[in-house]
Chains A and B, each alone.
Chain A
Amino acid sequence: MTWLFDNFDYVWSLTVRHVWLSAVPIVLGFVIALPIGWYANRHPRLRGTLLSAGSILYTIPSLPLFVIIPGIVGLGILSPLNVVIALTIYAVAIMVRSASDAFGSVSPAVLDSASAAGFSPVQRAFRVELPLAGPVLLAGLRVVSVSTVSLVSVGSLIGVNSLGSLFTDGYNRNFMTEIVIGVGATVVVALFFDLVLVVLGRVLLPWASASRPVRSTVTPMMSFAQHLRGGRV
């Protein structure tokens, strides 16, 4: 433990890097996947192709992807951008399915009534459809978040520093404490992201927790588990 206090700055800077390397793919993945998922929901034929493509992308193991991307994109292998791109790809793969399911979960009757009340198509998409898709989108984001935070550490194997560096370093120096701290810190970061998402959910989607039991967010999460059944490496 004293090691932590002595090297706090070092661990802290790695944590900050880790947070950045996680946050960018999560946000980018969400922003890119949202319109794709929306289209996929509207065009059932497209949906099958898109979801299959996403599924295949998600099948690619992470370390190999981190290695291949520099070759394709042309960046130096040490660039953290490779990790960000790879993780964004994974995030998009997961979120496209989640977004498609989310928009599919919005009741057509409610959309119809919104049109009848006088919402223009654009107003209806942003003020009715998007909020109502919120709960399922949030569940998907929580899965993406956990997965991304965990995967960032693998990047340390190709020199992209993050909390994963504590693992490689600790292993090379035969220093268990460093590894334990690293695991602990990574879990804390994952919990932090999850907490942020849950709070965002409570704030932006107040009706979802108004009268129904918490189960409603766990269930989409579980159906997600059926799709993913496990984390990623």
Chain B
Amino acid sequence: MSVFSETVDWLTDSTHWSGDDGIPHRLIEHVGYTAETVAIASVIAIPLGLWIGHTGRFRTLAVALTGAMRALPTLGLLTGIVLFTGIGLTPALIALVVLAIPPLLAGAYSGLESVDRQTIDAARAIGMTEWQILTKVEIPLALSLIVGGVRSATLQVVATATVAAFVSLGGLGRYIIDGQAVRDYPQMAAGSVVVVALALVLDGIFAGLQRLALRSRPSLVPTSA
């Protein structure tokens, strides 16, 4: 297929690998946005999710909110916030962070919910403080799901950041948006391929991390008489 070979040609063209519009630069930009967003969103969402999961309060509200936020069209949120606040990195980041919160929140509270109530009860009974229970029992046991939340959020952001090229963000999405403007399909396809590759690699890394988290689970076996 000539489209395929054109795309390959585009990808192997050395001029596309240097400069501000080169693949490495865009890739770094993209990963940078992703890392920043996930970091900020984690700081907001994970503690909140842990609190909700541990105390059990506001759970219905949290579930409803995460559900509702999934219904919000990302492009709408992006264009809305950027138009409201102005073009630039910060407004786009705000939108990205907002969209990354649901998976992190859900990962945190459902992770805690997956911990056997009896284990927590036993920990409380032997005299652990709430904080100790959270840090020594709940989080280690919930780690796999919490990491899963981060994984999901990361992929979410990689995808959203691609779309954010429309509101003048850098990153790999630029190839798609700019390519669309000049009807350069090979450019669009090439950019897409790189994004997909990035997504798959990141997903693979996180899958490995999740498995590690699962394997290193401390098993709290009650001492039998």
Contact = CB atoms under 8 A, between A and B. Distances in A.
- Is B a genuine binding partner of A? yes
Interface of A: 56, 59-65, 67-68, 70-71, 74, 77, 146-147, 149-150, 153-154, 156-159, 163-164, 166-168, 170-171, 174, 176, 179-180, 182-183, 186-187, 190-191, 218, 222, 225-226, 228-233
Nearest to B68: A187
Contact of B180 (A149, A157, A163): A157
B140 interface: no
Nearest to A66: B192
Contacts of B149: 229-230
B46 interface: no
B7 A230 contact: no
B170 interface: no
Contacts of A62: 159
Q: Chain B binding site: helix, strand, loop or mixed by DSSP?
A: helix
A231 B156 contact: yes
Given A68-B196, A77-B188, 17 more contacts: A63-B159, A63-B163, A63-B173, A67-B176, A67-B188, A70-B185, A146-B71, A157-B75, A164-B75, A167-B79, A176-B83, A183-B73, A222-B110, A226-B107, A229-B102, A229-B151, A231-B102
B79 A64 contact: no
Nearest to B155: A59
B176 A157 contact: yes
Nearest to B187: A67
A71 B7 contact: yes
Interface of B: 1, 3-4, 7, 63, 66-67, 69-80, 82-84, 99-100, 102-104, 106-107, 110-111, 113-114, 145, 148-149, 151-153, 155-156, 158-160, 162-163, 166-167, 173, 176-177, 180, 185, 188-189, 191-193, 195-196, 199-200, 203
Nearest to A226: B110
A174 B167 CA distance: 12
Nearest to A155: B75
B79 A68 contact: no
B79 A170 contact: yes
Contacts of B76: 153, 164, 166-167, 179, 182-183, 186
B66 A182 contact: no
B97 to A, nearest CB: 13
B180 to A, nearest CB: 6
Given A68-B189, A171-B167, A176-B80, A229 B73 contact: no
A179 B80 contact: yes
Nearest to B2: A71
Contacts of B75: 153-154, 156-157, 164, 167-168
Give the 5 A-B residue pairs with the shortest CB-CB distance, closest first. Answer: A230-B103, A61-B159, A64-B192, A229-B152, A233-B159
27 contacts: A56-B203, A61-B162, A61-B195, A62-B159, A67-B188, A67-B189, A68-B192, A71-B1, A71-B3, A71-B7, A71-B189, A146-B67, A150-B70, A153-B74, A157-B166, A167-B76, A168-B166, A171-B167, A179-B79, A180-B80, A182-B73, A183-B80, A187-B71, A222-B110, A229-B104, A229-B151, A229-B152
Contact of B107 (A63, A182, A229): A229
B152 A230 contact: yes
Given A61-B162, A61-B195, A64-B176, A230 B70 contact: yes
A230 B101 CA distance: 8
Contacts of A176: 80, 83-84
A61 B79 contact: no
Contacts of B113: 222
